[in-house]
Chain A
Amino acid sequence: MTPFAHPSRPALSASGRSLRTPLAALHHVTVRFGRTIALNDVTLQVRPRERIALVGNSGCGKTTLLSVGSGYRRPTAGTVYRAPGLRMGLLLQDPVASLNPGWTLEQLVGEPLRDLSPRLSREARAAAVRHALLQVGLGSIALDRYPAELSVGQCQRVALARALVANPELLLADEPTSALDPSVAAGVLRLIDSVLTATGAALLVVSHDVLAVAPLVERMVVLHEGRIVEDGSPHELLARPIHPVTVRLVETARQLTISHTPTPAEFPICR
């Protein structure tokens, strides 16, 4: 027996949780909207530091899964577990629509702290806002600015800062780049990656874009008609998809992928 696996001293996550105890878990969860079954007997666990992508076509149930996992919606059947005191951050698809236009950056980014840490002092809250903005590369931005004064890319950074301000152990992201230009999306993906690496937070990201999220995660779960139809590493799924739905997703991704040419910066001839 190696000392690393001693049962009485399990490895701990950054926040002091055991790496083997899930942060959140869905156990045989079913969600019905009238006659429509949005989720059908889904079981899924997210462990500390784990990065999972939920992929599938429109209507497959992936956003419903996210809303049940976050506690926003109750399942019709089955149980949802969240670790006691679990801190979650939420990043939505449309950065412009998800930010209240009448609020300053300080209000927008600091708002989650009002619920999660209501007893925080004004100064401590301002410091947390500053730190979150620093994490997303907006360290020098004025806190009294409004969303309309920012570019779309900056808005998505602000939305990410808002998701990070309470130092979440689990980041939930719903199509975080699909409303963005590819040139901006690439920057947001890199930012999410570096923030997760720095903070050790786990990720549950929902996307229909297999290509965009694959390099971000270690596990991909394919949903179809409310059921999990395939589950594996992005490498396995992209190389050897089994379920017809996964085969189609990967085939389309392959069709739409453009073989990479080096950027001008990568050219040896750059002056």
Chain B
Amino acid sequence: MTAALVLQDLRVIYQGGVQALRGIDLVVGPGETVAVVGESGCGKSTLAAAVLRLLPPDATVSGRVLLAGADVYAGDEEAARRRRGRLAGLVIQDPMSSFNPVMRVGAHIVEARRLHDRSRPARALWPWVVGLLADLQISEAGRRARQYPHEWSGGMLQRAAIAAASANHPPLLLADEPTASLDASLAVDVMHGLRERQRREGAATVLITHQLGLAAQVADRVAVMYAGRIVELGGAAQVIGRPRHPYTRALIAALPSLGGGLPQPLEGELPSLAPPPPGCAFAPRCPLAIAACHAGPPPDLVDGVACPVVMAPAHPLTAELCP
């Protein structure tokens, strides 16, 4: 089966020389949920924009992006727009502004579906809309679907935005912090509901988030990004439960834990990417860094970890974590 998304050596340089993405390779299979995690400024949102060909015109893109086998950067903007609507859905962080205030919430979702598929009349789609909203934990979905956006809370509208983005069954749903405005328990429920639905339909999800706990709950695989590169990639339980890259370990140590004390902050700041530092971009903040880390090309992923130091066979951390 064709992969929902293939990224090959994807690079993005913004005007001013900021190298926001520096060689991303990632394959997302049908029905799979992959979480992309990292701090603000690591390149997560540039990744989403690059996948959809929605970067500002002054950005330079190289490498390949295939959505369900189709090259996103082939043809003109108009062709790209049609393809995008058919092959990918996007959920953004703040949905409030994307709803027409004089249109019923359910009608938005019907429209989102009919924009690319006019085979069924709007009336016939209503039961489907109600089912979709119920999947996303909207209670009394039938009554609610007939209401207007101002009658819905922000958290409910965020779920309506998810419903609209997945309305025409795109092979890929890109969700950029889709649950940032929801309470934690609701965020978990909504993401589980979405994941089940995506699985049933064989559609893939790329979840962009800084909430590692949520990623651990709902993702099949997790990609950890730092300074425009993927530094660790693997099964969610592996990456979050037994992190190997020093950056992943530091990110997890910064999370509050049940019954624990105050978490350990990650010292230092993200490096400038105009141009990026030589070697591993995390080396200046890394307590395990050796001289070799500060020179040469940035390390590539080997067995899912871009850190030759911890992955060296003789390294005690490797011995402990990968017996």
Chain A residues in contact with chain B, CB under 8 A?
57-59, 151-153, 181-187, 189-190, 193, 208-209, 211-212, 214-216, 235, 238-239, 248-265, 267-271
Q: A181-B40, A182-B254 are in contact. Are A58 and B183 (CB under 8 A)?
A: yes
B69 contacts chain A at the CB level, 8 A cutoff = no
Listed A/B pairs (26) with beta-carbon separation below 8 Å? A181-B210, A182-B210, A182-B251, A182-B254, A184-B265, A186-B256, A186-B262, A186-B265, A187-B265, A211-B257, A216-B262, A252-B188, A254-B258, A256-B211, A257-B213, A258-B240, A258-B241, A258-B255, A260-B253, A261-B243, A262-B253, A263-B264, A264-B246, A264-B250, A267-B316, A268-B316
Question: Which residue on chain B has the smallest CB distance to residue A270?
Answer: B287
Contact of B265 among A183, A212, A252, A254 (CB under 8 A): A183
Task: For residue B241, give the distance in angstroms from its CB to the closest CB of chain A.
Answer: 7
B261 touches A263 (CB 8 A): no
| Neighbouring B residues of A153 by C-beta, 8 Å | 269
Q: A181-B210, A252-B188, A256-B188 are in contact. Are A215 and B243 (CB under 8 A)?
A: no
Task: For residue A212, give the distance in angstroms from its CB to the closest CB of chain B.
Answer: 5
Q: A58-B155, A182-B251 are in contact. Are A258 and B216 (CB under 8 A)?
A: yes
How far is A257 from B263 in the complex, measured between Cα atoms in Å?
12
Task: Give 4 new A-B contacts, CB below 8 A, not counting A211-B258, A252-B185, A256-B216.
Answer: A58-B153, A59-B153, A215-B256, A257-B255
| Neighbouring B residues of A263 by C-beta, 8 Å | 249-250, 253, 264, 287
Contact of B260 among A208, A239, A260 (CB under 8 A): A260
Which 7 interchain pairs have the tightest Cβ spacing?
A: A256-B213, A187-B265, A183-B266, A211-B256, A186-B265, A252-B185, A186-B263
How far is A215 from B260 in the complex, measured between Cα atoms in Å?
7
| Neighbouring A residues of B250 by C-beta, 8 Å | 183, 263-264
* Contact residues of B between 1 and 60, Cβ < 8 Å to A: 39-40
| Neighbouring A residues of B256 by C-beta, 8 Å | 186, 189, 209, 211-212, 214-215, 257
Q: A59-B153, A264-B287 are in contact. Are A189 and B240 (CB under 8 A)?
A: no
A257 touches B153 (CB 8 A): no
B288 contacts chain A at the CB level, 8 A cutoff = yes
Instruction: Determine the main DSSP class of B at the interface with A.
Output: loop
A267 touches B317 (CB 8 A): yes
A261 touches B242 (CB 8 A): yes
Question: Which residue on chain B has the smallest CB distance to residue A177?
Answer: B256
Interface string of B255-298 (1 = CB under 8 A from A): 11111111111100100000000000000001110100000000
B214 touches A181 (CB 8 A): no
A186 touches B266 (CB 8 A): yes
B217 contacts chain A at the CB level, 8 A cutoff = yes
How far is A174 from B217 in the complex, measured between Cα atoms in Å?
27
A253 touches B258 (CB 8 A): yes
A258 touches B257 (CB 8 A): yes
How far is A215 from B242 in the complex, measured between Cα atoms in Å?
24
| Neighbouring A residues of B224 by C-beta, 8 Å | none
A186 touches B252 (CB 8 A): no
Interface string of B176-198 (1 = CB under 8 A from A): 00000011111010000000000
| Neighbouring A residues of B253 by C-beta, 8 Å | 260-263
| Neighbouring B residues of A216 by C-beta, 8 Å | 262
Contact of B185 among A57, A184, A211 (CB under 8 A): A57
B212 contacts chain A at the CB level, 8 A cutoff = yes
| Neighbouring B residues of A151 by C-beta, 8 Å | 269
Task: For residue B232, give the distance in angstroms from its CB to the closest CB of chain A.
Answer: 13
How far is A268 from B263 in the complex, measured between Cα atoms in Å?
20
B243 touches A271 (CB 8 A): no
How far is A193 from B256 in the complex, measured between Cα atoms in Å?
14
How far is A146 from B153 in the complex, measured between Cα atoms in Å?
35
| Neighbouring A residues of B262 by C-beta, 8 Å | 186, 189-190, 193, 215-216
B210 touches A57 (CB 8 A): no
How far is A208 from B241 in the complex, measured between Cα atoms in Å?
25
Question: Which residue on chain B has the smallest CB distance to residue A213?
Answer: B256
How far is A269 from B214 in the complex, measured between Cα atoms in Å?
31
B254 touches A238 (CB 8 A): no
| Neighbouring B residues of A58 by C-beta, 8 Å | 153, 155, 182-183
| Neighbouring B residues of A251 by C-beta, 8 Å | 185
| Neighbouring A residues of B315 by C-beta, 8 Å | 269
